[in-house]
Structure 1
């Protein structure tokens, strides 16, 4: 029976506030450094690939450990793991502010991502213990808005900090936010754990993490080394072998980290299209556009942050609105309709050539942001609602992993695709073509000029513009396909929870 006392309500409010603050802070840790990459490169140097790992390494660490974080929280306690995760996240964020080179920064970003994943997983697990039904939908919608606030204002905050104090201030500010969460939020969490959790699926966690790391390394190193390079081919082969090993381990495990039986539910499989679509329609532009605005369009970091506002600001508002609209309009209709809007916005964005007026970006970015915001706050609840109640916990963990890991893969894939299109649009330069294409794809035209001094700057800009257009069209196609899958999976056939509610109404 639910405790409706004032004390219980206050405890729930504190728990929601603590997880909300984490939901704001973690995205800032992604969007802020994305804006800062040009400034970090100017200060510390480093190759294009090494600089890209500042964002990709953080996302990879979160994506590969978020499920493990949930398992640790179940066994050792949600409050304990949340506190440990946030303490480590805070400390590492502070240390990153003193990074002497890109290598140290990349390594510390990986540790920061692992700590953030543990805190996030434990926080979501704690939240799931406190809310159910429509209250859970509203709570998750608020958490989605928290992510949106972090994403919306992260680029602007980063731009202001870089302009005023330099790029290192981003990480000091993140550490300060973590300290605030520890001081005000963590002590008010109540300790809960899963009494049935007796051991950690360490072999499953290891094989899953290794699979994702090998895959991301292969995708990211491909543009620099060439996808026919033995190392890249070997990494892809290793990723495939590790995936088979992971599936085998999970089938044999008594208490697997990932219950493969969930994938026998067609609607649950179909709903995995939602994080894929959001990754390609929203996260990818959020990663690519700061580089374009600063390096190709010649804007400052602050201007780039402001230019991203039409894309990111709707994520701070629309998810919570969509969660309330879901009481009257089927969530599947809202989610699939939003993805169609995002796809249209991406097609519009693809048509904007380098050198266009800044105002040209605002309408398509606004359309993408509003469209992506529709499923943003509904996805987690939908992932739970399409499976039986007793599978809800595992469904949450799997979906969270798919969401973050999918974003990591999407960034790596789109980066490789952009570099490939750039390479196809450049004049032949022999063995240097991979490095030249990677430099141009990342807007580093000065580095490209050193590799190919005979090629005019205008050729680099034209190749980049053509590649950006083709890449955005591919992202739009993936988003539209995901909208169709979502509609078929969620609208045409009701899930078990929805059937239960329909039967209750008829009775």
Structure 2
């Protein structure tokens, strides 16, 4: 429940935060990406810590850090302080989630494990379906600060429940955390995401972007060398020699690009561009996520007769259909016309959503479930941060290109167009209009609409390609194969 609230809540409150605290486009983007960055980067290390120090202990420690940071967020004096607390919140979230997943993996086997992890997918769907609505209601009634305070309260409730009910367990063969590997991986991923986030503002050829990408590549290479040499690596690279393992990681990353990015982009469009209230935007977002209440359970049932790979590939094809449909529906209007396309996307992504976790914990022996969980969730959640950064940069780039084509002959400065495009991409139409007062609101919206539609077509094509890869690599895999073969 907490994870989707941490995704959807900030997306809904961002316009209110912009009004209250100001901040540059990059600073405001980090309200979204700060949590996702540390959450994904620390997930693999957190999974290893659960094996070493105990799954319940890491779970409780993570919840405590998460709740403390979340309580501090609404009292931030500036957007930069909010970004810092979101980074800390992500660290706590990573520890809590890794402890929870590896604890559950110790309690269930075979098809029962598939059903349990499908239930997690459904729970996630509850948060996604009603999180934007709840956040919108809180923003409109009590203020944006209560979105974070309510999330902290749920975290504290979770702490009490875990302390009372969970059993402690650890890997008896664990020797210690691979600190060089953890540091190099986390730093590499952070720099890569930072570069992608910075590119729309500074340009891909800027020294800061190129330098960050170069150092990131060096650190990733160092991480690979480190993992090949340590006795108990945080990431067993030999697993990537297995086609099925690679397929699971590709599948893990797919919802980030074809679904999670919409959780961020659509509220920004509904509130910032179309002028809807936070509550109305939350109501619309239900259509995208409510299928996750049912479809993961349906997928777990169908997996008795149809392989997980085939079901997942079919789901990605359905997602592609929904993305194309949504692109066409948004071009003619909102309201009822976009509900069915959004629901189609949710149905499509719900099929692999209910199967991925069961696959992830089957690739290694049960005693090292923490590593398996850490690897899978590091890929999945790291992909969230990377996808949001890439898709956000793509949208800003498409808007920039459109503005430059339309107004290159005018006196409007190139820098002004870049800043305006970044503002529109995050839903700040008023700020973009202030930067380019001579362009006009209608033309800015037209440029945004064209870019948004093209982006959805690109994502649809990528979803089809991913489906074909999943069919090839995972077509014969069943989630309840206990040996993970």
Q: TM-score range by the shorter chain?
A: over 0.9
- 1:387 shift after superposition: 6.2
Does the aligned pair in 1 maintain the 2:41–2:186 contact within 8 Å? yes
Does the aligned pair in 1 maintain the 2:122–2:354 contact within 8 Å? yes
Q: Whole-Å Cα distance in 2 between the matches of residues 354 and 108 of structure 1?
A: 38
What SS does structure 2 have at the residue aligned with 1:352? helix
User: Residue 445 of structure 1: which of 414, 419, 429 is its match?
Assistant: 429
User: Residue 459 of structure 1: which of 440, 443, 464 is its match?
Assistant: 443
* Structure-2 change in CA distance of 1:341 and 1:246 (3 Å): same
Q: Whole-Å Cα distance in 2 between the matches of residues 496 and 360 of structure 1?
A: 36
> Which stretches in structure 2 are left out of the alignment for 5+ residues?
none
- 2:153 maps to which residue? 176
Q: TM-score, normalised by structure 2?
A: 0.95
Q: Whole-Å Cα distance in 1 between the matches of residues 421 and 321 of structure 2?
A: 28
Q: Whole-Å Cα distance in 2 between the matches of residues 193 and 501 of structure 1?
A: 21
- 1:13 maps to which residue? none
Q: Whole-Å Cα distance in 1 between the matches of residues 417 and 484 of structure 2?
A: 59
Does the aligned pair in 2 maintain the 1:274–1:379 contact within 8 Å? yes
**2:408 is the counterpart of 1:431:** no
What SS does structure 2 have at the residue aligned with 1:396? helix
- 1:10 maps to which residue? none
- 2:52 maps to which residue? 75
**2:385 is the counterpart of 1:401:** no
Please list, as runs of the form range in 1=range in 2, the aligned pairs for 1:101-120 lying within 5 A after superposition: 101-120=78-97
Computed over aligned residues only, the root mean square deviation of the Cα atoms, in angstroms, reads: 1.9
Q: Whole-Å Cα distance in 1 between the matches of residues 480 and 59 of structure 2?
A: 30
- 1:397 shift after superposition: 2.1
Q: Whole-Å Cα distance in 2 between the matches of residues 61 and 262 of structure 1?
A: 24
- 1:487 maps to which residue? 471
What SS does structure 1 have at the residue aligned with 2:235? coil
- 1:239 shift after superposition: 0.9
Q: Whole-Å Cα distance in 1 between the matches of residues 57 and 209 of structure 2?
A: 40
Q: Whole-Å Cα distance in 1 between the matches of residues 322 and 477 of structure 2?
A: 29
Q: Whole-Å Cα distance in 1 between the matches of residues 368 and 467 of structure 2?
A: 25
Does the aligned pair in 2 maintain the 1:297–1:354 contact within 8 Å? no
What SS does structure 1 have at the residue aligned with 2:77? coil
* Structure-2 change in CA distance of 1:443 and 1:29 (3 Å): closer
- 2:320 maps to which residue? 343
Q: Whole-Å Cα distance in 2 between the matches of residues 55 and 500 of structure 1?
A: 39
User: Residue 121 of structure 1: which of 77, 98, 102 is its match?
Assistant: 98
Q: Whole-Å Cα distance in 1 between the matches of residues 248 and 207 of structure 2?
A: 36
- 1:499 shift after superposition: 10
What SS does structure 1 have at the residue aligned with 2:309? helix
- 2:456 maps to which residue? 472
Does the aligned pair in 1 maintain the 2:48–2:371 contact within 8 Å? no
1:296-320 deviation digits (Å, cap 9, x = unpaired): 1110000000000110111122112
Does the aligned pair in 2 maintain the 1:297–1:355 contact within 8 Å? no
- 1:52 maps to which residue? 29
Q: Whole-Å Cα distance in 1 between the matches of residues 222 and 215 of structure 2?
A: 10
What SS does structure 2 have at the residue aligned with 1:377? helix
- 1:496 shift after superposition: 11
Choose 271-280 or 337-346, whichever is displaced more. Answer: 271-280
Does the aligned pair in 2 maintain the 1:262–1:395 contact within 8 Å? no
What SS does structure 2 have at the residue aligned with 1:190? coil
What SS does structure 2 have at the residue aligned with 1:199? coil
What SS does structure 1 have at the residue aligned with 2:231? coil
Q: Whole-Å Cα distance in 1 between the matches of residues 228 and 185 of structure 2?
A: 13
- 2:77 maps to which residue? 100
- 1:323 shift after superposition: 1.2
User: Residue 263 of structure 1: which of 225, 240, 245 is its match?
Assistant: 240
- 2:250 maps to which residue? 273
Choose 152-161 or 87-96, whichever is displaced more. Answer: 87-96
User: Residue 193 of structure 1: which of 138, 162, 170 is its match?
Assistant: 170
1:220-276 deviation digits (Å, cap 9, x = unpaired): 000011111111111111111111111111111111110000001011112222122
- 1:6 maps to which residue? none
- 1:414 maps to which residue? 391
Does the aligned pair in 1 maintain the 2:316–2:464 contact within 8 Å? yes
Does the aligned pair in 2 maintain the 1:70–1:397 contact within 8 Å? yes
Please list, as runs of the form range in 1=range in 2, the aligned pairs for 1:321-336 lying within 5 A after superposition: 321-336=298-313
Please list, as runs of the form range in 1=range in 2, the aligned pairs for 1:147-158 lying within 5 A after superposition: 147-158=124-135
- 1:390 shift after superposition: 7.7
- 1:354 shift after superposition: 5.7
Please list, as runs of the form range in 1=range in 2, the aligned pairs for 1:337-416 lying within 5 A after superposition: 337-353=314-330, 356-385=333-362, 393-416=370-393
* Structure-2 change in CA distance of 1:488 and 1:387 (3 Å): farther
What SS does structure 1 have at the residue aligned with 2:177? coil
Does the aligned pair in 1 maintain the 2:43–2:375 contact within 8 Å? no
Q: Whole-Å Cα distance in 2 between the matches of residues 415 and 494 of structure 1?
A: 34
Please list, as runs of the form range in 1=range in 2, the aligned pairs for 1:288-303 lying within 5 A after superposition: 288-303=265-280
- 1:396 shift after superposition: 2.8
- 1:16 maps to which residue? none
Q: Whole-Å Cα distance in 2 between the matches of residues 248 and 174 of structure 1?
A: 40
Q: Whole-Å Cα distance in 2 between the matches of residues 121 and 384 of structure 1?
A: 12
Q: Whole-Å Cα distance in 1 between the matches of residues 53 and 363 of structure 2?
A: 28
1:352-380 deviation digits (Å, cap 9, x = unpaired): 34671311110110000010011001012
- 1:393 shift after superposition: 5.0
Count of residues paired in the alignment: 478
User: Residue 215 of structure 2: which of 206, 219, 238 is its match?
Assistant: 238
- 2:285 maps to which residue? 308
Does the aligned pair in 1 maintain the 2:171–2:368 contact within 8 Å? no
What SS does structure 1 have at the residue aligned with 2:304? coil
